[in-house]
Structure 1
Amino acid sequence: MAGRFAPRPTRTTVRGGEVVVPAARRAPVAAGRVRTWVPDGPLDLGLVLGPLRRGPADPTFRAMPDGSLWRATLTPVGPGTLRVAAVGGAVRGEAWGPGAEWLLEQLPGMLGADDDPSAFTPRHRVLAMARHRRPGLRLTRTGLVLESLIPSVLEQKVTTDEAYRAWRSLVRKFGEPAPGPAAGGRLWVMPAPRTWALIPSWEWHRAGVDNKRASTILRAVRVAARLEEAVRMPPAQAQARLEVVPGIGPWTSAEVVQRSHGAADAVTVGDLHLPGIVGWALAGDRFADDAVMLELLEPYAGQRHRAARLILLSGQVPARRAPRMPRGDIGRL
């Protein structure tokens, strides 16, 4: 979702998290464990899994020409690679590595099986039109905390380009190649908590990560097991647990539970752009702050994150007036 100093409003995050999936064109790949799941309604893989991609060159995520989406992730039982593709009215999942069975077990939840789009009733025309145009939107539930927490911390108070570059650099340098065919060998699994904890200070600097964000990540990985336990809590309690870690506030915790829990009501506050976008779409107020945004979203209590995401996907974004935030690169200092 939004929440970063985005260089331009066409970025994946500002658009509301969407990956363009090419038309399906089955290509042969090495066989892995397989599961087929049939959703109970329209499903757009690019919309559902889009928020899990951290930039167009995310080393843990690939959209392939054959219409498939690939993810490499660190599951509770080890690294795993997942390939998903729409086959007729069903979704075929193939997985490799120690985490394969875990990924296939989580497949329906990851594709929005636990989400209930019918619980949302649009009260504004822009939301009604956005939902009509995006019937396949469901909220993913990964069941993993750290894989969303670390990139969210990297995205605190910097441009998307800076955050994506840092994530890319650190994962490729300290992660491991994904098991299986892994989108032609171009996928990487993010580092384990202990590996994050052992990254030297100068490597954070080279990746463009300042001491504040690096320290927050180091504090988080030291209590990684406790944070992962939050997936079994309601979203509000999970956010409270995350925010016990210094450096993790409401913005970051909301960005995490939106992905780890599929939290339909976890609206992102403390964002530079989102209040103005919501204010503009619902009330013509480009200068709305968090208080105004929450007031405008009050009719959607219980579904405020879905409402905000539909607004982002609607394209109703006010024209930019202020200068763009200057890009920084402490790795070159």
Structure 2
Amino acid sequence: MSLPRTLSPDAPPGLDLARTLSPLRMGVSDPCWHAAPDGSWSWATRTPAGALTLRLRPADGGVAAEAWGPGADWAPALLPGLLGVHDRPERLVADGPVAELVARYPGFRLARSARVADAALAGVCRRGVSAFEAGRAWSLMVEAMGDDAPGPGGLRLPPAPRRVAASEPYDLHVLGLEAQRADEVRRIASHAPRLELEGGEPPAGVVDRLRGIAGLGADAVDHARSVALGAPDALPVVDGHHRAALVEVLARPDAPAADAEALLEAHRPQRGRVVRLVGLSLEAAAEAG
């Protein structure tokens, strides 16, 4: 194994690395991610230059990073997004339970992976099923259509677009994706080369290309905007348990009953941030047992 490239990226003061990165993974069993007991997080992904494994860990009030693989030269470009350097959490003006969540997670930032196709695939996997079922489908797809990642840790790279695009409906059915979602993931994969962010291209360009994929649901586009681009108003795809928690947090005792989407309207243009904050509270509750 070759020695890693080491980096010392700038990080926002007080960054909570775990809370910032955890929304990017597809559950605790995501083969592309590993959270270690020492507080480090490892991520395997594909870049235009090849495979990349990144390991990030808190260090001296900041973050230290190591990169393995032919995609290591892309690490400096990806790190600011992963660490939420672009994010402006102070733009969420909230009161009541939402303000309490903001105070509970002061180091949380909206990260962006910059991997648009992978995020759209994950959004399709999440649609209409529980978080467990979505994570299982994603993990099976990674194991069946991904590759071993460089570096330590035994991580897997996300599904290779060419394999997903060439798959048959039955190949995806056995992974837990019915015909509609299977068709969408193949469409995303066939367009994956066009979904790379190019240089200093504004995010709107790649979003337009993603929206231009025939038959792709708007929720998958929004999920990609949330995960890959860190858009604070984009709504990630969440399950019924998460939506119920949103209603519990956002509903006013003296207001008529409403669903999560309607209740989130009061928080434009920061709806996605509110969804993530509620998700962090659910993760904390699960960790506490």
TM-score after normalising by structure 2? 0.86
| Structure 1 unmatched ranges of 5 or more | 1-28, 316-333
Look up the match of 1:167.
138
SS at match of 1:54: coil
Return the offset for 1:294. 4.0
Deviation of 1:110 (Å)? 1.1
Q: Hey, what's the Cα distance between the residues in 2 that align with 1:72 and 1:286?
A: 45
Displacement over 6 Å in runs of 4+ = none
Q: 1:238, CA displacement in angstroms?
A: 4.8
Residues 1:195 and 2:166 are matched in the alignment: no
Give the TM-score, by structure 1 length.
0.76
**CA pair 222-133 structure 1, distance change in 2 beyond 3 A:** same
Q: Is residue 138 of structure 1 aligned with residue 105 of structure 2?
A: no
Equivalents in 1 of 2:65, 2:48: separation in Å?
19
Is the contact between residue 250 and residue 269 of structure 1 (CA under 8 Å) also seen in structure 2?
no
Which structure 2 residues correspond to residues 163-312 of structure 1 after superposition, within 5 A? 163-181=134-152, 183=153, 186-229=154-197, 232-234=201-203, 238-268=206-236, 272=240, 276-282=244-250, 283-284=252-253, 287-289=257-259, 292-297=262-267, 301-312=268-279
Per the alignment, do residues 176 and 268 of structure 1 end up closer, same or farther by CA in structure 2, a change over 3 Å counting? closer
Count of residues in Structure 1 that have an aligned counterpart in Structure 2? 279
Displacement after TM superposition at 1:92 (Å): 0.5
Cα deviation for residue 81 of structure 1 reads 0.4
Partner residue of 2:89? 117
Structure 1 counterpart of 2:136, which letter?
R
For 1:175 and 1:311, the matched residues in 2 are separated by: 31
Indicate the percent of aligned positions where both proteins have the same amino acid: 36
SS at match of 1:108: helix
Pairing 1:68-83 to 2, within 5 Å after superposition: 68-83=40-55
> Which range is displaced more, 301-310 or 239-248?
239-248
Q: How does 1:145-164 map to 2 (within 5 A)?
A: 145-164=116-135
Instruction: Quickly say closer, same or farther: Cα 1:140–1:286, change in 2 above 3 A.
Output: farther
- Contact kept in structure 2, 1:144 and 1:260, CA below 8 Å: yes
Aligned-pair CA distance for 1:290: 5.5
Contact 2:123 2:224 in 1 (8 A): yes
Give distance in 2, aligned partners of 1:194 and 1:117.
Answer: 37
Task: Give, as a single letter, the amino acid of the residue that structure 2 aligns with 1:147.
Answer: D
Deviations 1:255-293 (A, max 9, x none): 111111110121358975565543432324794236622
- CA contact under 8 A between 1:266 and 1:304: conserved in structure 2? yes
Q: 1:162-208 CA deviation, whole Å, 9 max, x = no partner? A: 22112111211221110112x1xx20002321121122333212212
1:36 is the counterpart of 2:8: yes
What whole-Å deviation, never above 9, does each CA across 1:11-53 have from its counterpart, x for those lacking one? Answer: xxxxxxxxxxxxxxxxxx9730011124231111111111121
Shift of 1:90: 1.5
Alignment of 1:47-86 (within 5 A): 47-86=19-58
Q: Normalized per residue, which structure has more helix?
A: 2
Contact 2:127 2:238 in 1 (8 A): no
8 Å CA contact 2:12, 2:83 repeated in 1? no
**1:134: how far off?**
0.7
On the 8 A contact 1:276/1:286 being kept in 2, the answer is: no
The runs of 5 or more residues in structure 2 that have no matched partner are 283-289
Counterparts of 1:174 and 1:307 in 2: how far apart (Å)? Answer: 33
| Residue 160 to residue 314, structure 1, CA distance change in 2 (3 Å) | closer
In structure 2, relative to structure 1, the CA distance for the partners of 1:65 and 1:295 (3 Å cut) is: closer
